[in-house]
């Protein structure tokens, strides 16, 4: 380890054309002012990670004050919290272009700190614990193009930065807001990094002046809304990353991204987004990469029957939709993605798709459907992909494959296809019981007995059976839930008669177990979990994560008894509840099961079995769509309206608590 540099240290190199010298990670504490004099050709000097103070550094560099030095690395020294401005003044006669001084402790940058180094093109001040920067800190730097202020303690964007900047790193600071004209003078800026700050507010004119910007990173902030005019200056923007923010809904304008006609990469991952205009991306004609992982777009995509969301994206090459609660894929959703090469939809709820879904994706090479609910893959599922000469990789890992006769085609296809089936050696049969847990590759047509009847026989029997069943099905279809309910009650009566059943007195002679039974659609599971249960329900879904409420609510995904039938779960648990909460949405009203729950609740209220019905209108369902059995209650304004607003949410919670506490009124009637 070198500890000192004297005038003899480099004497033997006097006649050598040394251009680059690296002395980092030594124990240098002292440098003679004559030490570097023999190195007349020196262009680059690295003396980082030593124990030099600002004064010792100044003495040591005196021998280079008239040199051709263009790069100086003085990172991780012992500068004592001060910028070595006097040392920079000493180097005024050099052609220094690159100054690297990261990971020093410099609390503040004074006025005109680098003014003597007029030829600087790059300054690296990463990790220097900087808190404040003077308005004219960078004055005089007319050639500066690269400024790194990453990982400091800045709480706002510095002002009066050089207009010549091409690259600006402000990531990993403490910036909380981007005000109007925050970057207005940076007309040459191409790359702007604002990741991992605390930005929650972005003024609609924050990016004014950034007409040449090509890359903008705003990853890992707290941005919850985007003004319609925010991206207007970005005609040359190529890459925009807004992942890991709080953009749960993008509602301001369907044209919010329309000005970015040069955009090739867009990431909106990890935002929990469930709502945005379907036309949001239609103007992004240059887009090649779209990342939308870890959001909640299952409902939006499932209802986009004409494929508006991705319409016009003819140049898109990669699309990532993992962790989005996807379950229904409309046949037209990918209709315009003729250049798509990689499609990732892992960790969703997909159980299958219609033939023709991938008909237009002729360039598709890789499809990842791992961690879904796929039990059957047949010839129609893979018809388009099998005919696609570009298709190379299919990933169906961690799906509950049903190793039955219906899966024989896929098992044969795996043996014959040229397509790479990712991790196929780890695929496991999930059913039937005889095959459960066994490797998928051990399953083939020789090991399962499948009897195939003559085609005419099958067709004849099918037609005859269909005609016989059709009449019966038409009669009972509309009343199927009530029939199931009556059968269940009859069965219970028989059991009571034979076993002399006596009701269980759960508490003080009462049979009530729950304060309220929550009736909701499967698509509204996330809303119930994140918005309704917190501060209301007294239980928990995951150990150690209580909802911190005071009421015991029946939540089907948590409280249903495994193995029990749906009708028994509905009937028994409503009767064991004091009230019924109905989460009213369009998806809810489209289900016959939920209409039965409403009718059953109304009947049990009229019989005095339950006290009341609490109606929550989540999506602003129109009065005309509400079942007649609830219309009188709604017309009397006896319902709760959900709005996604902080004050409205607080008021909603208070009203719900009051409704749950309110005791039965014998005069209440639902017509």
pLDDT in tens, 315-327: 999 999 999 999 9
* pLDDT tens column, 151-191: 999 999 999 999 999 999 999 999 999 999 999 999 999 99
Task: Give the residue from 403, 398, 400, 410 showing the smallest Cα distance to 443.
Answer: 403
Q: 67 is written with which tokens?
A: 């040199």
Candidate from 68-72, 196-200, 457-461 with smallest mean pLDDT: 457-461
Position with higher pLDDT, 194 vs 454: 194
- Whether the predicted pLDDT of 126 surpasses 90: yes
- Whether the predicted pLDDT of 666 surpasses 50: no
The number of angstroms, rounded, from the C-alpha of 649 to the middle of its chain's C-alpha atoms is 23
pLDDT value for 477? 58
Task: Give the residue from 426, 330, 420 showing the smallest Cα distance to 371.
Answer: 426
pLDDT value for 360? 95
Q: Residue 671, class by beta-carbon neighbours within 10 Å (0-12 exposed, 13-18 middle, 19+ buried)? A: exposed
* pLDDT tens column, 219-263: 999 999 999 999 999 999 999 999 999 999 997 678 899 999 999
Rounded Cα distance between 95 and 322, Å, is 51
Q: Which domains does the chain have, with CATH numbers?
A: 1-129+141-150 (3.80.10.10), 299-447 (3.80.10.10), 514-661 (3.40.50.10140)
Q: 398 is written with which tokens?
A: 């961690």
Greatest CA separation for the chain: 112
Q: Residue 478, class by beta-carbon neighbours within 10 Å (0-12 exposed, 13-18 middle, 19+ buried)? A: exposed
Q: 326 is written with which tokens?
A: 């996807």
Rounded Cα distance between 555 and 581, Å, is 11
Rounded Cα distance between 231 and 636, Å, is 45
Rounded Cα distance between 354 and 516, Å, is 39
Q: Are 517 and 577 in contact (CB under 8 A)?
A: yes
CB < 8 Å & 24+ apart, contacts of 112-115: 112/136, 112/137, 112/139, 112/140, 113/83, 113/85, 113/88, 113/137, 113/138, 114/88, 114/138, 114/140, 114/141, 115/139, 115/140, 115/141
Candidate from 279-283, 369-373, 445-449, 523-527 with smallest mean pLDDT: 445-449
Q: Are 34 and 60 in contact (CB under 8 A)?
A: no
Mean pLDDT along residues 623-639: 80
Residue 501: band (very low, low, confident or very high) from pLDDT cuts 50, 70, 90: very low
Q: 289 is written with which tokens?
A: 């990469």
Residue 488: band (very low, low, confident or very high) from pLDDT cuts 50, 70, 90: low
pLDDT value for 664? 59
Q: Are 112 and 135 in contact (CB under 8 A)?
A: no
| R_g over Cα of the chain | 34
- Whether the predicted pLDDT of 669 surpasses 50: no
Question: Which helix (H) or strand (E) segment is 88 a member of?
Answer: helix 85-90
pLDDT value for 462? 73
- Whether the predicted pLDDT of 562 surpasses 80: no
Residue 156, classed as helix, strand or coil, is coil
Residue 113, classed as helix, strand or coil, is coil
Residue with tokens 């005309």: 624
Query: ∠ at Cα 562 (556, 566), nearest 5°?
Result: 55
pLDDT value for 324? 97
Candidate from 31-35, 50-54, 203-207, 452-456 with smallest mean pLDDT: 452-456
- Whether the predicted pLDDT of 330 surpasses 90: yes
Rounded Cα distance between 315 and 514, Å, is 54
CB < 8 Å & 24+ apart, contacts of 379-387: 379/409, 379/413, 380/355, 381/352, 381/353, 381/355, 381/410, 382/410, 382/413, 383/355, 384/355, 384/356, 384/357, 384/358, 384/359, 385/358, 385/419, 386/413, 386/417, 386/419
User: Who's near 28: CB < 8 A, 6+ residues apart?
Assistant: 2, 3, 4, 5, 47, 50, 51, 52
Q: What are the counts of helices (DSSP H) followed by strands (DSSP E) for the chain?
A: 14, 30
Q: 405 is written with which tokens?
A: 């006769």
- CB atoms under 10 Å from CB of 544, counted, come to 5
Question: What does the mean pLDDT of the chain come to?
Answer: 88
Which DSSP state fits 519? E
User: Who's near 190: CB < 8 A, 6+ residues apart?
Assistant: 166, 167, 212, 213, 214, 215
């Amino acid at each position: 380890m070198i500890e000192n540099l004297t005038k003899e240290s480099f004497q033997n190199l006097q006649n050598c054309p040394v251009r680059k010298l690296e002395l980092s990670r030594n124990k240098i504490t002292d440098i003679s002012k004559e030490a570097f004099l023999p190195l007349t050709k020196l262009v680059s000097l690295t003396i980082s990670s030593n124990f030099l103070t600002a004064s010792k550094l100044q003495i040591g560099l005196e021998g280079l004050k008239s040199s051709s030095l263009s790069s100086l690395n003085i990172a991780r020294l012992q500068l004592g919290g001060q910028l070595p401005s006097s040392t920079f003044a000493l180097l005024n006669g050099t052609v220094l272009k690159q100054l690297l001084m990261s990971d020093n402790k410099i609390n503040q940058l004074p006025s005109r700190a680098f003014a003597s180094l007029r030829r600087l093109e790059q300054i690296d001040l990463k990790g220097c614990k900087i808190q404040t920067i003077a308005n004219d800190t960078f004055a005089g730097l007319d050639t500066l193009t690269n400024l790194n202020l990453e990982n400091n303690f800045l709480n706002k964007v510095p002002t009066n930065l050089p207009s010549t900047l091409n690259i600006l790193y402000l990531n990993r600071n403490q910036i909380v807001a981007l005000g109007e004209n925050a970057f207005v003078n940076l007309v040459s800026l191409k790359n702007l990094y604002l990741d991992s700050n605390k930005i929650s507010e972005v003024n609609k004119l924050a990016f004014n002046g950034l007409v040449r910007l090509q890359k903008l990173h705003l990853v890992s902030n707290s941005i919850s809304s985007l003004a319609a005019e925010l991206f207007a200056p970005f005609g040359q923007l190529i890459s925009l990353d807004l992942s890991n923010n709080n953009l749960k809904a993008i509602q301001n304008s369907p044209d919010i991204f329309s000005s970015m006609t040069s955009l090739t990469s867009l990431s909106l991952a990890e935002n929990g987004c469930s709502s945005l205009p379907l036309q949001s991306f239609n103007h992004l004609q240059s887009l090649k990469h779209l990342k939308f992982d870890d959001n909640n777009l299952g409902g939006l995509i499932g209802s986009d029957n004409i494929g508006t969301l991705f319409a016009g994206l003819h140049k898109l090459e990669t699309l990532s939709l993992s962790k989005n609660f996807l379950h229904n894929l409309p046949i037209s959703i990918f209709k315009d993605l003729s250049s798509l090469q990689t499609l990732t939809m892992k960790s969703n709820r997909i159980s299958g798709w219609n033939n023709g879904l991938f008909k237009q994706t002729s360039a598709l090479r890789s499809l990842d459907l791992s961690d879904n609910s796929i039990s059957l893959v047949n010839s129609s599922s893979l018809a388009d992909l099998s005919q696609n000469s570009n298709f190379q990789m299919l990933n169906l890992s961690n799906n509950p494959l049903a190793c039955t006769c219906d899966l024989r085609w896929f098992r044969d296809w795996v043996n014959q296809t040229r397509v790479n089936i990712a991790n196929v050696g780890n695929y496991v049969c999930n059913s039937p019981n005889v095959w459960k847990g066994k490797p998928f590759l051990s399953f083939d047509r020789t090991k399962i007995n499948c009897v195939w009847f003559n085609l005419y026989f099958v067709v004849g029997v099918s037609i005859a059976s269909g005609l016989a069943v059709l009449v019966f099905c038409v009669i009972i279809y509309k009343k199927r839930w009530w029939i199931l309910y009556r059968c269940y009650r009859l069965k219970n009566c028989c059991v009571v008669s034979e076993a002399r059943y006596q009701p269980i007195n759960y508490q003080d002679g009462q049979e009530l177990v729950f304060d309220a039974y929550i009736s909701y659609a499967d698509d509204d599971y996330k809303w119930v979990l994140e918005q309704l249960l917190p501060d209301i329900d007294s239980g928990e879904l995951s150990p150690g994560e209580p909802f911190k409420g005071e009421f015991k609510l029946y939540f089907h995904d948590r409280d249903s008894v495994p193995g029990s039938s749906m009708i028994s779960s509905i009937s028994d648990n409503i009767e064991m509840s004091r009230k019924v909460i109905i989460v009213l949405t369009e998806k809810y009203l489209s289900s016959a099961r939920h209409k039965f729950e409403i009718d059953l609740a109304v009947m049990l209220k009229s019989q005095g079995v339950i006290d009341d019905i609490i109606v929550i209108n989540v999506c602003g369902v129109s009065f005309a769509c509400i079942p007649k059995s609830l219309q009188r209650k709604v017309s009397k304004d006896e319902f709760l309206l959900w709005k996604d607003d902080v004050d409205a949410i607080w008021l909603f919670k208070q009203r719900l608590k009051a409704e749950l506490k309110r005791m039965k009124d014998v005069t209440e009637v639902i017509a």
